[in-house]
Amino acid sequence: MRPGDVDDEGAYARAGGRLPGDPVPDPGLGLGDESQPLPPPAPPPRRRARYGRTFVHALPVLLIVVAILYDILTPRYFTAGPLYTAAPLIAAPLYSRRGTALTGVAVVAAVIGLQLGKGVIHYVDSLTELITIATVAVLAVIVNGLVRRSSERLVSVREIAEAAQRAVLPQPAERIAGFEIAVCYEAAQADAFIGGDLYAVQDSARGVRLIVGDVRGKGMGAVAAVAVVIGAFREAAEQEATLEAVAQRLERALAREGTRRDGLDAFEGFTTAVLAELPHGDGTVRIVNRGHPPPLLLYADGTLGPLPARESALPLGMGELGVWPDRAEEVAFPGGATLLLYTDGLTEARDAKGEFYDPQARLAGRAFPHPATLLDTLAEDVRRHSGGGMADDMALLAVRRPRRGDHDHCHEP
């Protein structure tokens, strides 16, 4: 039975938060199925960025051309020395070593040719200008070498970060025990690959078990906590008989790791998490929520509803503040439906007016053929909503139960 099928509140939620007679709001993603046309998007910033990069790369050549024209069209004692000096310096971080050297040679050759043409090459000021420009050209080649070395180090750091992400947050298979799976991780910090958000999928004898969580804090302490939680989850998902026991196993793992480290900053103290279990051959989903945003259940007809916890529970790692037994809540998970788990980076994304992103309103009335399509659309809409400046990392996990008769297929992201 879907959440709220028998009461007015559920009908209100499935209607996207509207009462009969209320005007239909624009949810931002459009209503109806995917065949329904969407509003024309704003002009993409990528084209403007591409034009900007082209102009910057052409700037050294433009400076040389302008400097030559200036020297030709002005009297003998006028000089375009600053333009000649700027050209190789701008080329240094943009061009290859050969390109930077050729820019310097072109500048020196142009200055010598123009000074000879004007008959001023024997003057002290002209000779000083020539020596200055030649010195800057040599320095530009040296700067280019330093920039290239730094770039190589940056590439190495990025490769290490990518390897760390694959090790700590491995990409799950697209199909596990008949379920279609997709994940997405969006880092708030540019060039960051992993932070305090986590997800994991583990098949077991009792069903497919999932976790999405958010570790308190940032930095290496958060990454260490992510590794502890995921390692403990994979082991517990294989061994524990119930989802409640898996949650208790994670609680003990965080408490044990916390006692082994000194200081609050050495190890992050708690983790909000939602755990889900999809039993084999059973059209239900069981959920244990430990202080995390509630999952969303999207049905094949475009209706959706949140799955909030009936009883509040403390995040993982806060067991010393009180003991409440975990109770898994079970709801129907029919064929064609998709379960969406996410971290608060999704709901805390703000637009220019300071309004938070509301996934329930934005997804109302939408139907997606594959969970990867859902996550791609959702991530793009969040980036557009926040203007590309997210305040927190965002982890998304979607799992779809295929309907009977659906043909097996592999989704290409």
pLDDT at 52: 78
Mean pLDDT by 10 residues, the chain (413 residues): 46 44 45 45 57 85 92 84 90 91 93 87 85 92 88 66 66 92 80 73 94 80 82 93 93 79 55 94 92 93 89 81 79 94 90 89 90 93 82 88 64 36
CA distance 36 to 30: 8
pLDDT at 127: 86
- Cβ atoms of 351 and 302 closer than 8 Å: no
pLDDT at 321: 72
pLDDT at 49: 64
- Cβ atoms of 363 and 379 closer than 8 Å: no
pLDDT at 42: 47
What's this model's pTM, rounded to 2 decimal places?
0.62
Task: Please give the backbone phi and psi of residue 40, each rounded to the nearest 5 degrees, phi first.
Answer: -60, 130
CA distance 370 to 180: 7
pLDDT at 370: 93
DSSP 28-58: SS-SSSTTSPPPPPPPPHHHHHHHHHHHHHH
